Chains A and B, each alone.
Chain A
Amino acid sequence: MGKYIIKFFKDEKVKYVSHLDTVRMFGRTMRRAGITMSMSQGFNPHPIMTFANPIGIGISSSCELALIGVDEEISPKDLAITLNEHLPSGFKVLAAKKEFAKSPFTSLTFAQYKITVSGEITDPVKLLDMPEIIMPKKTKSGVKDTDIKPFIRSVFADGQTLFATVRCGETNLKPELLIEALEKYTDFRIDEYKTERTALLDENLNDLIEF
């Protein structure tokens, strides 16, 4: 009974499955698994399920977090095992625990991304030497030229792989925009890249949820 947080991964094969489709997929998986979900009250009841942060289409992840309401007695371990028996290939629950806080995801501040690049790359840290990094950023009121430097906590390269820690949550930086900024402000010449989200962190760069 109660709420559980699960951490799951979403691999390359299913990275084009949108956030809403992932929510629906979990609902159906719970049904197949025979686990009764808590339903919202109201005109059009739906399963209670909250995600820490919707992930962009085309990005795989090893650190997605979701809060699920369950209407029956089940241990976190059994919940994870049962879900894994019924999830479509490409999704897997890595950990689960009971949660008592009402909104456990509010302190989300940063996300880490691992971006594998083909093309010419230079030291990405140079980007942060710029006094400001003006990029067209989508906001509620349309696309606006915005200085995204404050949204980048760190970025470094190891071979052809970039590791970036950027703002996530209320203030959010999409990894695509970071790549575009690297092309605009440094000597990056990128043919292709793929992105994986590797961690969701709080303001002190600790894991948002400890398991």
Chain B
Amino acid sequence: MNILNKVQKAARYTGGELNSIIKDKNTKIRFAFCFPDVYEVGMSHLGMKILYHGLNKRSDTWVERVFAPWVDMQDEMKKAELPLYGLESKDPIKDFDFVGFTLQYEMSYTNILSMLDLAGIPLLSADRGEEDTFVCMGGPCAYNPEPLADFCDFFLIGEGEEIWNEVLDVYSKWKDDRLSRFEFLKQISAIEGIYVPSFYNVSYNDDGTIKEYTPKYDFVPKTVKKRIIENMDSVDYPEEMVVPFTEIVHDRIMLELFRGCIRGCRFCQAGFIYRPVRERSTDRLCDLACKLIDSTGYEEISLTSLSTSDYTDLENLTNRLLEITTEKKINMALPSLRVDNFSAGLMQKIQSVRKSSLTFAPEAGSQRMRDVINKNVTEEDLMRSVSIAFEGGWTSVKLYFMIGLPTETIDDVIGIAKLSESVADKYYEIKKGGKGIGRGRITTSVSSFVPKPFTPFQWERQNTIPELREKQMHIKDNIKTRMINYNYHESYVSVLEGVFSRGDRRLSQVLLNAHKLGCKFDGWDEFFDYDVWMQAFEQAGIDSAFYARKRDFDEVLPWDIIDCGVTKQFFINECKKAYDEKTTPNCREKCAGCGLMGKCGVKQNG
């Protein structure tokens, strides 16, 4: 493989990292776990680590990793006629039993097509024959699987640990029996969480909205229920993780404290699709931490979850972990802190040698707007948190906000600038006369809101590019202090992200067109080309604005085929409460009745 001499960062393509798993090439089931972005991004993904180590425990299965080759490597592979291969065996993945993609981000969809193309696998599910591999997809974006319906043989909805074992058991027997492709899909469609898009017809109304989904066969479920793991302590968690040679985005041990989130922020898809909240015990976490530290040699451990500081036993957990990490000279990182329960004690624990930047996410600039989105933090919370940080020696704070939220007014938008200014004032108040006061830096990052399926805002209209641009400029004009570093992005990507996040299966044609027009790595600024995308829509005769419009509560949504556990009525109620600027307490304060009662691990206070 001397083409590796011609490409950048060739260590991405060689495999052989510590803790990677090599098995016999004659293993019965060969499985390519594909991440449709580069190695550095894909290797940072926790879900891949969990499934890679978990499924490789099966003696009949060998899971290998595959990432999107960077563009230079794609060119060289095409020139050398080298098909896309698994990193462990270097065998072409088109000969594998399964080629599975994880869907983390809508803008990586074209990379799926590039990868199938490089692998020599027919892009369209309908074009695959009896000898071809099964292409399947899962992950958060699979909750609206429809834009990828034409390319995917089956989707896995929800958490993968158990469902994959069931699919592999069926497959193993099916392979022995030498039955047809159709028969395999039929058999797994009976497994809860499996969605076979080709088993459904979709009809449309005259206005282009969906009329209904009709199962083609009587054995197909009317809706597909997501899978969840009920006991987080008994489910597999890797005790080893592959340690890359080359530096990756999250180059540290990831310890998953819990799944789900008690908060219910109305814009946040993760906050609903990962419900209910289920925690790992402190004992189990400490045990895993020790084993992972020993098996990887990593110098940092990160406590990951949607909102880490909401872990019930956080005080005890961090104390016990600190004993371990201090002895072994390891950093502990706590991402996703909230401003309403950030404390001096917690800050001291994460006070590693380096005082790196702290990030807070007020999300919106005014209290009214924060009530609409149910963020449930106040300006006082933020001021208290940044004061603790500045007094504790931090000089750099990042603030995350969104624009384009439902009911947003210009005052809400200007509030972002005002709140950032208040944080700057607080900094000067605390650091006044102190040494190095000039080092202070406040980064205000503003992204554009994208309405997502399975949120109370799933029916909302998405702002247009000119609207978003105007709001971005208003913020810019209202920031006066030089210590504030204001970041925002052109909103073209957000608008497309919105189209695919709420799109239907007619968009498969647009994706195919975009792929043929050369779109790839659309999440990367240097490759994203909005005009080419518009051409892809035009060729398909589809108006992208159709997908950004406001929808009625009674419209059939493309993702109605999926049941995420939270009821539609709950989302409707939450949406109406948003319009009334009314908040909903977090799950620990009061059960909001989302539909997952009984499976939920949250205990209400008092």
User: Which residues on A are within 8 Å of B, measured CB to CB?
Assistant: 13-14, 16-18, 21-22, 24-25, 27-32, 39, 43-45, 57-58, 86, 88-90, 192, 194
Contacts and interface: CB of A to CB of B under 8 A. Distances in A.
Contact of A28 (B10, B243, B353): B243
A24 to B, nearest CB: 7
Contact of A58 (B5, B293, B353): B5
Interface in B253-279: none
Interface of B: 2, 4-5, 10-11, 13-14, 16-18, 243, 245-247, 293-299, 328-329, 353-354
A44 B298 contact: no
30 contacts: A13-B16, A14-B14, A14-B16, A14-B245, A16-B4, A16-B10, A16-B11, A16-B13, A16-B14, A17-B245, A18-B246, A21-B245, A21-B246, A21-B247, A27-B297, A28-B296, A28-B298, A29-B297, A32-B296, A32-B297, A39-B329, A43-B354, A44-B353, A57-B10, A58-B4, A58-B5, A86-B297, A88-B16, A89-B16, A194-B2
Nearest to A25: B245
A86 B245 CA distance: 14
A114 to B, nearest CB: 17
Contacts of A86: 297
- Most chain-A Cβ atoms within 10 A of its Cβ — which of B11, B295, B297? B297
Nearest to B354: A44
Contact of A17 (B5, B11, B295): B11
A14 B10 CA distance: 10
Given A43-B353, A58-B10, A31 B2 contact: no
Contacts of B10: 16, 57-58
A194 B5 CA distance: 10
A17 to B, nearest CB: 4
Contact of A31 (B14, B245, B246, B299): B299
A90 B245 CA distance: 12
A57 B11 CA distance: 9
Nearest to A118: B2
B246 A28 contact: no
A89 B247 CA distance: 18
A48 to B, nearest CB: 14
Nearest to A194: B2
Contacts, number: 61
Contacts of A21: 11, 245-247
Contacts of B17: 88
Given A45-B353, A57-B10, A32 B295 contact: yes
- Most chain-B Cβ atoms within 10 A of its Cβ — which of A13, A31, A90? A31
Contacts of B294: 32
Nearest to B6: A58
Contacts of A88: 16-18, 243, 245
- Most chain-A Cβ atoms within 10 A of its Cβ — which of B13, B245, B298, B329? B245
Given A25-B245, A27-B299, A58-B10, 7 more contacts: A16-B13, A17-B11, A21-B11, A21-B246, A29-B297, A57-B10, A86-B297
A72 B354 CA distance: 26
A13 B14 contact: yes
Nearest to A45: B353
B265 to A, nearest CB: 35
Contacts of B353: 43-45
Contacts of B5: 58
B4 A24 contact: no
A56 B299 CA distance: 26
A57 B294 CA distance: 29
Q: Which 4 A-B pairs have the closest CB atoms?
A: A28-B297, A31-B297, A16-B10, A32-B297
Contacts of A90: 16
A163 to B, nearest CB: 21
Nearest to A33: B297
A30 B294 CA distance: 11
Contacts of B328: 31
A25 B251 CA distance: 12
A14 B14 CA distance: 8
A17 B4 CA distance: 12
B18 A24 contact: no
A174 to B, nearest CB: 13
A28 B296 CA distance: 7
B458 to A, nearest CB: 44
A32 B293 CA distance: 8
Contacts of B299: 27-28, 31
B12 to A, nearest CB: 9
A32 B299 CA distance: 10
A89 to B, nearest CB: 6
A18 B18 contact: no
Nearest to A20: B247
A113 to B, nearest CB: 15
Nearest to A86: B297
Nearest to B7: A16
A28 B243 CA distance: 9
A58 B8 CA distance: 11
A14 B15 CA distance: 9
A44 B299 CA distance: 13
